[in-house]
């Protein structure tokens, strides 16, 4: 490899890596905040924080990496213009088109990583994360019930246990509140036991009271019962059916079906690869500037191009899933023009306009 290609590739790679690190930290904070909110509402067990954080971040990489590639290339090429290095290279016969080889040496590996995450690793990580939550919610202890704390249940309602054994099967001082339509159901017990009966979770309450009546309190239609033993079947979560959604299916399975939601998910996974390649080609002409020109305009333009591409990709995927767009159209109406625009801008970059009197 010529020294110039090594120098430019190193400059591009360092800038792209720095941009990816910053975007990764910001995205990690966003995923962490979402997880904390889901844990507070009882949807995700607190014990799965680290595993869910890592798996969900893999699913976000196809959206993070194209922006990191665009910003990294924009910063590195912009620095070459700001420090007048591009003008020196142009003076010795090295124009913007000569940057294609070092540009591809950095962009192609990133595009391959995006394709691997979008087509293979991302769906597998999403399916694994969802399966871990479903499996954990089958156990009341792992599902987030802690002694001395009111815990929202995944099916609605609130549960409280004053004390709990280490295996999570024996409880004491129990309070359970549930709502069924316009009626409420409150059960209290001195002790209780959690066990399984033919795959069904059963909570046996001992020596307690149960109050059932209207939730609004509009009338006095209440019933009070005292019991020695009350077995309550805990509702089974229907989250396992969500694993059949196209979002959690492997890419090869999506290729074998012609349903609109599956095709929409397939195009959603293909789109980041082509968008990243288009953004990489756009970075070089967008970074062109004079030595004393500010870089903020190019940065804002890059963010705008990224946002327009991502928002149109989301909108097109939704239209495909709802049947508003024909399946044959897919997202090609967005991807091919974006890729063509990137190629056209790169080829036109550096051309000197001919004077009008010579035309």
Burial (CB < 10 A; 0-12, 13-18, 19+), residue 350, is middle
d(CA 13, CA 20): 10
Q: Which tens digits make up the pLDDT trace of 10-50?
A: 999 999 999 999 999 999 999 999 888 887 766 777 778 88
How many other β-carbons are positioned within 10 Å of the β-carbon of residue 254?
21
d(CA 103, CA 124): 30
Q: Is there a contact between 295 and 82 (Cβ–Cβ < 8 Å)?
A: yes
| Window from 79-93, 271-285, 321-335 with minimum mean pLDDT | 79-93
Q: Which tens digits make up the pLDDT trace of 213-232?
A: 887 766 777 888 888 888 87
Q: Indicate the average pLDDT of the chain.
A: 83
Q: Which tens digits make up the pLDDT trace of 177-191?
A: 888 778 888 888 988
Q: Is there a contact between 70 and 302 (Cβ–Cβ < 8 Å)?
A: yes
Max mean pLDDT among 2-16, 126-140, 225-239 falls in 2-16
Nearest to 136 by CA among 16, 10, 46: 46
DSSP 120: I
Could you tell me if residue 153 is left (phi over 0), alpha (psi between -120 and 50 degrees) or otherwise beta? beta
């Amino acid at each position: 490899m010529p020294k110039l290609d090594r120098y430019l590739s190193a400059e591009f790679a360092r800038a792209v890596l720095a941009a990816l690190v910053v975007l990764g930290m910001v995205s990690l904070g966003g995923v962490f905040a979402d997880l904390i909110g889901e844990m507070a509402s009882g949807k995700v067990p607190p014990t799965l924080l680290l595993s869910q954080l890592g798996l969900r971040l893999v699913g976000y990489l196809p959206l993070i990496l194209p922006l990191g590639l665009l910003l990294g290339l924009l910063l590195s090429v912009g620095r070459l213009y700001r420090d007048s290095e591009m003008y020196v290279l142009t003076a010795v016969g090295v124009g913007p088109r000569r940057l294609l080889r070092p540009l591809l040496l950095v962009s192609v590996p990133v595009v391959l990583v995006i394709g691997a995450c979008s087509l293979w690793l991302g769906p597998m990580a999403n399916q694994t994360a969802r399966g871990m939550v479903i499996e954990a919610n089958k156990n009341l202890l792992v599902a987030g019930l802690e002694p001395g704390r009111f815990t929202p249940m995944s099916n609605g309602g609130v549960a409280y246990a004053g004390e709990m054994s280490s295996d999570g099967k024996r409880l004491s001082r129990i309070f359970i509140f549930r709502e069924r339509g316009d009626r409420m159901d409150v059960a209290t017990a001195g002790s209780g036991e959690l066990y399984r009966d033919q795959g069904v979770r059963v909570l046996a309450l001992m020596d307690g009271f149960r109050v059932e009546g209207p939730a609004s309190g509009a009338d006095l239609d209440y019933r009070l019962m005292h019991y020695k033993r009350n077995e309550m079947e805990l509702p089974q979560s229907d989250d396992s059916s969500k694993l059949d959604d196209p979002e959690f299916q492997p890419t090869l399975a999506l290729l074998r079906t012609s349903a609109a939601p599956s095709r929409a998910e397939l195009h959603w996974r293909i789109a980041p690869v082509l968008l990243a390649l288009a953004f990489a080609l756009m970075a070089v002409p967008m970074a062109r500037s004079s030595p004393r020109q500010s870089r903020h305009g190019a940065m804002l333009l890059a963010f705008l191009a990224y946002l327009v591409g991502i928002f149109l990709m989301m909108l097109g995927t939704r239209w495909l899933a709802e049947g508003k767009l024909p399946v044959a159209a897919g997202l090609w109406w967005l991807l091919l023009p974006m890729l063509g625009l990137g190629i056209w801008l790169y080829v036109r970059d550096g051309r000197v306009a001919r004077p009008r009197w010579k035309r």
